[in-house]
Amino acid sequence: MPDSKKAAEFRAELRDWLAENCPEGVRDGAEPNVETTPWGSSSIELDDDSRIWLERMAGRGFTVPTWPVEYGGAGLDRDLYPVLIEELKRINARTPLTGRGVNYIGPTILELGTDEQKARWLPGIARGEGGWAMGYSEPGAGSDLASLACRAELDGDHYLINGRKVWTSDAMDCDYIFILARTDPDAPQHLGISLILVDMHQSGVQVSPIRLLSGASPFNETVFENAIASANDVIGGVNNGWTVGKRLLQFERSTHAGINTSGSQGGRASSNMLPEQLRPYLSDQPALRRALVKHQMAFAAQRLTQQRVIEETAANAPGFASSAVKLSNALITQAGDELLIDALGTQGVGWDGDFLASELAATRTWLKQKSLTIAGGTMEVQKNIIAKRVLGLPD
């Protein structure tokens, strides 16, 4: 579709600006994730190009392009946002800022916070000042999140928080954490919960790594012992955390699904490397060729679905559709991983030693991406949501 006059003018101006302001070092199209992309953490030092890119993009409001200008965004509408994404892709530029700040808690505050909370938190999030962790899961509360036990008791103008969160990704490098805590233990399970912002730089918050089989520890247990949070930092109202927390989960799932347009990565789907990776094995394996074609079709259909959802959604992320698109994205990604591992045969099950770097990478990616149908809500939970909320089936 040709650009509107407004979009054409924006594209021309943007192209010139990007040519001058996007450093060479960030023109490698790296996937937006916490390993390659700034996400606000004050304990991770950025290389010069990433820092300059972040500052320049934040200066134009392009780290959160759809947010209002007064909160650090560029106020781009549905016509102009895709132009920005296309132009970033055209020069292979990295996303300048990712993470739970711009993608999860930022849009939640923008949608459900008070004016005072928006003014206090959003500009800093847009500039990447502070990395955010997510404190939902507990030892006895994963899918059944409403049985969470972490307590927050009002004590004057602040809350005292006590409890234990698990699987807090990246918490060891985070500055803030948003948590779901019980603020009214006498209320029915779903009604006495609040979503609260907590500064992690205090002695009442202790983070311990949970080591995985691989030796890495991106997960943590985060323990709160009389940790303090301001009474002003309850988002969306006291005891309304179940509703607020579920909306935040839609932002999380939309981010996993590539359809969250809060930051500047929505709609920037990763490139499909599979045909290239499978090329050496295709000539003598007709079944593999057929499987690849089927996968390519699913991948292309997923892209079109993502595009359509972004075009149809007025807010920064859709509602229940986020569950469907997140799930299909995860399943297609995992199916691609399986195809590659099948093609590699015994070379696809190495951990170290006599294997090519590309083979080791394939094995680790295959195992790592198993988590795509657990993180942000399991596959079964997404299917339950789709059945109840999208298809309207009975409980």
Ligand X SMILES: Cc1cc2nc3c(=O)[nH]c(=O)nc-3n(C[C@H](O)[C@H](O)[C@H](O)COP(=O)(O)OP(=O)(O)OC[C@H]3O[C@@H](n4cnc5c(N)ncnc54)[C@H](O)[C@@H]3O)c2cc1C
74 near ligand X (CB under 6 A): no
365 near ligand X (CB under 6 A): no
Torsion from C-alpha of 307, 311, 316, 322, nearest 10 degrees: -50
Binding segment (CB under 6 A) for ligand X, from list 239-247, 254-262, 338-346, 374-382: 374-382
The residue from 21, 36, 137, 347 that contacts ligand X (CB under 6 A) is: 137
Pick the closer one to ligand X by CB: 4 or 371. 371
Binding segment (CB under 6 A) for ligand X, from list 165-173, 192-200, 281-289, 355-363: 165-173
244 near ligand X (CB under 6 A): no
- The least distance separating ligand X from the CB of residue 206, rounded to whole angstroms, comes to 16
In terms of Cβ atoms closer than 10 Å to its own Cβ (0-12, 13-18, 19+), residue 347 is middle
134 near ligand X (CB under 6 A): yes
Residue from 31, 252, 312, 380 carrying the catalytic annotation: 252
Kindly state the tokens that stand for 386.
């789709």
245 near ligand X (CB under 6 A): no
- Whole-angstrom distance, CA of residue 280 vs CA of residue 362: 15
- The least distance separating ligand X from the CB of residue 378, rounded to whole angstroms, comes to 3
Pick the closer one to ligand X by CB: 169 or 272. 169
CB 226 within 8 A of CB 204: yes
Residue 234: C-alpha distances to residues 61, 139, 180, 305 (Å): 26, 23, 10, 35
State how beta strands 193-199 and 151-155 pair: unpaired
Tokens 């030693």 identify what position? 353
- The least distance separating ligand X from the CB of residue 94, rounded to whole angstroms, comes to 22
What DSSP string describes 303-360?
Answer: HHHHHHHHHH-SSSS-STHHHHHHHHHHHHHHHHHHHHHHHHGGGGS-SSSSS-HHHH
Pick the closer one to ligand X by CB: 18 or 105. 105
168 near ligand X (CB under 6 A): yes
The residue from 47, 155, 312, 380 that contacts ligand X (CB under 6 A) is: 380
In the window 177-196, what residues touch ligand X (CB under 6 A)?
none
Binding segment (CB under 6 A) for ligand X, from list 150-158, 162-170, 275-283, 323-331: 162-170
- Whole-angstrom distance, CA of residue 13 vs CA of residue 265: 20
Pick the closer one to ligand X by CB: 61 or 163. 163
The residue from 4, 42, 143, 208 that contacts ligand X (CB under 6 A) is: 143
Binding segment (CB under 6 A) for ligand X, from list 78-86, 134-142, 182-190, 347-355: 134-142
Half-sphere exposure of residue 182: CA atoms within 13 angstroms, side-chain side: 20
369 near ligand X (CB under 6 A): no
The residue from 102, 309, 381, 385 that contacts ligand X (CB under 6 A) is: 381
- Whole-angstrom distance, CA of residue 76 vs CA of residue 84: 9
The residue from 23, 123, 124, 142 that contacts ligand X (CB under 6 A) is: 142
- Whole-angstrom distance, CA of residue 87 vs CA of residue 102: 20
State how beta strands 219-230 and 132-135 pair: unpaired
Binding segment (CB under 6 A) for ligand X, from list 122-130, 133-141, 237-245, 267-275: 133-141
- Whole-angstrom distance, CA of residue 216 vs CA of residue 192: 36
- The least distance separating ligand X from the CB of residue 371, rounded to whole angstroms, comes to 4
Max CA separation in the chain (angstroms) = 73
Per-residue buried b or exposed e for 369-383, using 16+ beta carbons within 10 Å of the residue's own CB = eeebbeebbeeebbe
- Whole-angstrom distance, CA of residue 18 vs CA of residue 25: 13
- Is residue 338 part of the annotated active site? The answer reads no
State how beta strands 158-165 and 151-155 pair: antiparallel
- The least distance separating ligand X from the CB of residue 317, rounded to whole angstroms, comes to 17
Binding segment (CB under 6 A) for ligand X, from list 129-137, 181-189, 194-202, 232-240: 129-137
Of all residues in this chain, which one has the CB nearest to ligand X in the complex?
142
Residue 176: C-alpha distances to residues 75, 224, 302 (Å): 26, 13, 34
371 near ligand X (CB under 6 A): yes
315 near ligand X (CB under 6 A): no
Pick the closer one to ligand X by CB: 30 or 375. 375
Give the active site residues.
Answer: 252
- Which residues are at the interface with ligand X (CB under 6 A)? 134-137, 142-143, 167-169, 371, 374-375, 377-378, 380-381, 384
